[in-house]
Every structure is written in C-alpha cells, then in structure tokens.
Structure 1
C-alpha cells in the first residue's frame, strides 16, 4: 500500500493579514523617515502665527537693531553688538587730564567711588571696532570744520571728542558767544581743523520757555522752519553731527506754515491753553524732516559750493531714571544691562525709529535731486545709531556726582538731585566718537575695518 503525504492545511486568511502587516509597517516607517514634509507643512502655519503674535506683543532690544544702509554698513554694522568687560585697556583720558569737561559730567573729579563703568568695551557682532586713534581722527578732519548741532547731548558728545583729541593736540578756544557759551569753536592749529558746537535743542526755529516772554512753562516750536543760527552757516561746515531729543518731552506749543497756524500742543491744557494735545512724536519727526530737507535744499541751491559734506544724525540716547527725575529719581546701576534683562522703553524705540526713517527718506530725496540735476552726490547723510548701546549703559551717567562730593556732611540720597541723562566723561559716550571715526574713514575712502 502506498502512503501519501497528508494534504496541506487549508489557507488561513488571518495569517495572510498578519504577514501583510509585518511587511507594510517597516515600509511605512521608512517612508515617513525620508518624507516628513507633508506633516511639517501642516504644522508650519500654526508656528508662524504663534511667532507673529509673539513679535507683536513684545518690543525686544533686537527689534531696534536693523542693519542700516550707507557708509557704516559697507564695512560693519556697529549698531548690533554687546558690551564686554575689558580690564586691560581703560579710557585714554581722565577727569584731570582733560580741561574741557563740563563740570557736571566730571564724575571722577566729583568723587564717584566706583570705576567699573570705565572698563566696558562695545563689541559689534561679526567685526571689530578699533580703539579711538586721536592722531588719525585729526588727520581725517584736517582742513575741515566739524560741527555738533543740537541740545546738551550734542554738547556731551562734542566734549567727549575734545577730551579724546586733546591727548595728542591741545584745542584752542577761538570763539564763544551766547548764554552759558552755547556757541563755541575750537581750533587744532597744527591740522588747520575746527570743531564747533551750536546750541539748537529743536533744530527747527524755537523759542525756549521764558517768563519774560510769557512762556513760563512752555516752548514754542515752528516745525517747518529750520533754525537759522546753524542753517545760515551751513555752507561753511564739512561734517555736521545733529543730536536732539530730550527737549521734545517738555511742554510746548507747535506752529506750522507762514501764517503760523497752531498744530497743537504737548502738556499745555493745565496752563489754560485751549489747544489740542498731540504729543511729540509727530512733531519730532517733522523737526528731523525739516532739518535734513534744509541741508539738501541749501546744498542744491548753492551752485558755487563744490565741497563734499557729511551729515550725521546721532540717534536718541535714553535716560535711566529709576523714579521721577525731579523727585530723587536715581540711576544706581554699576554695570551694563545684560541682554534680555530689561526691555527698552517704547518712547526710546519710537524716537530712534523716527530718526532712522527720516535719514533714509532724506537719502531718497537727495538721490532724486541728484538724478534731476545730473550731478554727483555732494552730501552724504547717515545715522549714527547709538540708541541700543546707550540704553544698555544705565551705569554710565553722573547720577548724584553731577555735584562735587554730594554725600559730604551726611547728606542722604533722597535729598540729592541725579543726572541720569548725560554721560560721565570719560564714559560710554566716547564710543559714539569711536564709531564716528569709522564713518569718517569710510567717507574719506580710507575704511580700515578689521574683520574678526
């Protein structure tokens, strides 16, 4: 008898499904690993919406750092950086070696005990800011007239520059005029270079508050008329540095047009004026616009003036009062703010933004005029954007040391006025002039920018 093998078991559907799943799962995982884009694309709109909401709700320090165009960014964006501790190199002058420091900014001579604020160096991201070279700066302004025009911040920057330059050449005061010597000129005879300061806290025509003029608490501004005290001498300037801002916070009445129409006012109703409150941001913009337009127009109209001018707008420098300035508000910081430690105030962001935007608008106006007249550009307009680096230095103000030895004889802090607007000399404001020097190098075609 033949024996036959047993018949195969009947085919199982259940087993087939199991085997198929075992085969498909690795293939599915393999596909998802190498082709994840469809899933990411579904999530991306939600992520973008979240980021947009975040950017709208928070004003961070990085939002005011936009790479500027023009002569600064050809070599280095000095706006974007951080303060780094540098105990190896201190300032190149001190409160006793410089004779032109305004008394209220001479912090060392007035007894400020800490010196840490002198040992921070601004470090731009991606490039190096060279140490200030006074001899090289004087060569850059040889046979030229450098003018600072504006309020006390313009004067503060001017006095910083004079101290820096006086380490190699003594400036001679050759002209002074006005109350508190608000119009002065120094000469560096060896270089045939002049450096001047023009007091003009609004840059436009203005009448400062005066009880004798019936303006006990208010300034009067004519926002579409440039201040002739500087504008009438514009043809004799080679380098002009404009610096304003803090005076626009004061109560004022604003006028515009030949008929001197009242635009409105800022903080005037409490004194009985029946004008509309319009704040000061728009007025500040009009003043900067009028100033830069005046520069462009006068240069265009003067056919006999063929020398090249550099116009610089130093952006708004924030104050650091903790408390009200007139109620013992102080600036007790002993080192710079760290990144993210404190958000910049809205006002500081807006003032800086207005200046940068108006500089860019003036550049476009200049370009159109140049194309129309078919002439080479005779004016260079740039922003010296210091707002963020200044905002980080709450430690650099005179504070109570605007007075000599303020706590002598047991005087307590609450009875001492503080200056948290201006800067100690030496101090952070010296960096403004370091950057100004790099702008001059580029303007003169001798940019010495050093990559890291």
Structure 2
C-alpha cells in the first residue's frame, strides 16, 4: 500500500510542479499588474462635463416640420417612479434667498426631512441630476418667461435656487413682471402673474365674488412682451376650480358655481380649454406670424393632496411617496391634464406649416401625484405647533416645499431644452 501511495504522490508532484513554478514567476510581476488595473480604472472614470460652445447650444424647440433629429428615440421622462437618493438636494432653505416663506418648510420647523431624499427615475431612460451650468449655457443671451399662477412662481423659485448654486443673479426692475438677470450669461428669467392666462379679474373680499374671465381675450400684461421672449413656460389650472363667470365676445357664456346669478353653470373644463387655446393662438400670431421663432412649454396640471376639503381643515400628512399604482389619479386631475395635452397637439398642428414654433408638454401631473409628502402642509406657517396643537391649522397641499419634488420638474425642463435637432429656433 505504501508503494502505491508513493507512486500517487510522485504523480501528483509532477502535476503540481509546473503550476507552482508559474505562480512563483508571476509574483514579481504582481505590482505591475495592480498598477495597470489602477490606471485602467482611472481611464474609465466619467469625464467632466464638456462646455458647450455657443454654436452648439440649442434646444429641442425648433421647427416641428424639421425631421433631422439628433436622436430618433426621445426619452419619455414622465413615465417612471420615485427612488431613494442619499445625496439630497443641491440647495437648502438657508442657502437660497428667493424661496417664498410659506414654502420654506425646514425653516418653518418641519422635522421630517425624508421627503428630500427622493429622485424621479424614468422607466426607460436616465434623468440627469440638474446641472446649473448647462442650463445657463442653454439660455445665454435669452429671455425665459414663466407665465401663469402660483405654481409657475413655485417652479421658477425652485429654478432660481438651483441656478444660484453656480452663478450670481440680480433682481431687476421690470414693469409687469418679476425679473432676474444673470449678467455672466446675459440671460433673464421672468415671472408674469396671470392665473387664467387670458384677461380676467380675480375674486376677492373687496371685489367681485366670482372670477371674471374673458376667454377670447389674451392678458396683455404678458402678451405685450412676447416679442422679447425666447422661451415661454405656461402654468394654468388651479384658478379654474374657483367660482367664475365666463365671457366670450363681450357676452356671458356661462359660469361655475355662481349661486345667486341667473347664468348657466357650464363647469370649468370647456373654459380651461378655450383659455389655453386663446393663449397659444395669440403666441403663434404675435411671434410666429412676424417670422420670429419661439419655444413654448405647457406645464400640465399639478394635483393637490388634501385629505378633506381645503377650506375645512384639510391636511396632507403623508410621509412617503405613493408607489406606482398605489393610488389612482383623481378624475378631475386626469381630465385637466387630458385637455392640456390635447390643446398642445392642436396648436402644433396649426403652427406646423408656419415654422419657427415648437411646443412641448412638461407633463408633471402623474409624477407629481405620486408625491403627497412634498407639500408644506401645516409648515406653510412658521413653527405652527410651537404653542401646542391648535383646533385649526391651515394647510397648503397645493404648492411644494423648496427644496422638494418640484426640483425634478426643472431637471426634466433642462433635458427638454438640450440640443436635439439642427436649425434650432430657440
């Protein structure tokens, strides 16, 4: 038996000896191999962002008849889900001075900060983190105007905070709008308050008890400056839910919730459609009709998340996003979004033969619906529970905390503005 084992040992030795010699020969080369892997990995690191030359900086806002696209498969940024992001926002309530006090949730005492650590992730493509330098290069020598309601203000304040992380801005005087200028890029952002887009008078405690809207007359407050605008972002919807009287051709067309008035209640879907159509037609006529190109974005309806009636102690107490499919979008929200999307397509068809006009929808309705945790709620007020829980605390479940989910609207906005086609108009 020992003889047999000895023969086996010799055979095993003969098999292992060559392998052992190869390993011993490789040991002196090990440092060289490791250094090679190290420098190879460095070569794989992402390169810093390439600075866009002025000639290369243009957006997807173009002649919609031009089919010479850079990419044939544009990203659907609006279909996706919210995912956790440990990095958090680019700014905070103390580093940005342009946040409206009622949306500065952390400064107002909100302790739960988990809502800050979510990012929107499209299902079939990648949404880049907001790069302020890229946005500023895209708007160099341009004027971007936000026109609409308080959600337009909410969005532009988010954008100003994001841009202020890279460039100084200055508030400048302008009759008819709030305006900011980035001198280093000769770029301007402005906000025109026009909650109906068309001509109208808001109801108030000292004025009319109902909104008064002229659905066929554009609001000259912003329309007179259209020739100075390169990109327009429209925001409309919430004010159409308020009791109103509608006029067309100088005559009463109907009303909404107009108790005590002898008018026909026609709801608000039709008036919303007419107001948006009047607005888009006016821009086409005023700008494109003169041979000047312009880009227009319609930001779709932003849903609220009141648990109960907004004027009867309704709250929004959720602490995390909805999962996709967890909660169905409301019928009113869905219909308002559908109207806005349809009017975008109709305006595209009308302007197609004119050229120099592009129109896109910033379709935030569904992605915003998934964020019931991102509103100021009771923290629209400064430390609302400092003296204990009172019987009634006003909540804001319409607007968005800054920083917050609305920052993702601007991440998508900059992607929509990046170069996509040749012969841009914006």
Task: Pick from 363, 383, 386 the counterpart of residue 408 of structure 1.
Answer: 386
CA contact (8 A) 2:288 2:357 kept: no
Alpha-carbon shift at residue 267 of structure 1 (Å):
0.6
> Structure 1: how far apart are the matches of 2:204 and 2:412?
37
Match in the other structure for 1:134: 132
Match in the other structure for 2:55: none
2:372 is paired with a residue of what secondary structure? Answer: coil
> Structure 2: how far apart are the matches of 1:444 and 1:191?
23
Q: Within 5 Å, which residues of 2 pair with 1:316-395? A: 316-368=301-353, 370=354, 377-395=355-373
CA-atom RMSD, angstroms? 2.0
Match in the other structure for 2:222: 230
CA contact (8 A) 1:316 1:352 kept: yes
Alpha-carbon shift at residue 444 of structure 1 (Å):
7.0
CA pair 326-124 structure 1, distance change in 2 beyond 3 A: same
Alpha-carbon deviations, 1:141-182, whole Å to 9, x = none? 00000110000000000000000000011210002557xxxx
- TM-score with structure 1 setting the length: 0.76
Report runs of 4+ in structure 1 exceeding 4 Å deviation. 69-74, 443-447
1:224 is paired with a residue of what secondary structure? Answer: strand
Task: Pick from 407, 416, 419 the counterpart of residue 439 of structure 1.
Answer: 416
- TM-score with structure 2 setting the length: 0.81
CA pair 176-316 structure 1, distance change in 2 beyond 3 A: same
Match in the other structure for 2:406: 429
CA contact (8 A) 1:310 1:443 kept: no
What 5-or-longer segments of structure 1 have no aligned partner?
A: 1-68, 371-376, 448-452
Alpha-carbon shift at residue 443 of structure 1 (Å):
5.5
**Bigger-Rg structure (1/2):** 1
Alpha-carbon shift at residue 275 of structure 1 (Å):
0.2
CA contact (8 A) 2:159 2:410 kept: yes
Matched, 1:218 2:213: no
Matched, 1:184 2:178: yes
CA pair 354-394 structure 1, distance change in 2 beyond 3 A: same
CA contact (8 A) 1:140 1:444 kept: no
CA contact (8 A) 1:243 1:315 kept: yes
Match in the other structure for 2:269: 281
CA contact (8 A) 1:139 1:191 kept: yes
CA pair 192-382 structure 1, distance change in 2 beyond 3 A: same
CA contact (8 A) 1:149 1:199 kept: yes
CA contact (8 A) 1:132 1:437 kept: yes
2:418 is paired with a residue of what secondary structure? Answer: helix
Q: Within 5 Å, which residues of 2 pair with 1:301-320? A: 301-303=289-291, 305=292, 308-320=293-305
CA contact (8 A) 1:241 1:312 kept: yes
What 5-or-longer segments of structure 2 have no aligned partner?
A: 1-64
**Structure with higher RCO (Cα < 8 A, 6+ apart):** 2
Task: Pick from 152, 155, 164 the counterpart of residue 154 of structure 1.
Answer: 152
Alpha-carbon shift at residue 341 of structure 1 (Å):
1.5
Match in the other structure for 1:3: none
> Structure 2: how far apart are the matches of 1:101 and 1:278?
37
CA pair 137-113 structure 1, distance change in 2 beyond 3 A: same
Task: Pick from 247, 254, 257 the counterpart of residue 267 of structure 1.
Answer: 257
CA pair 415-446 structure 1, distance change in 2 beyond 3 A: farther
CA pair 277-321 structure 1, distance change in 2 beyond 3 A: same
1:196 is paired with a residue of what secondary structure? Answer: strand
Match in the other structure for 1:15: none
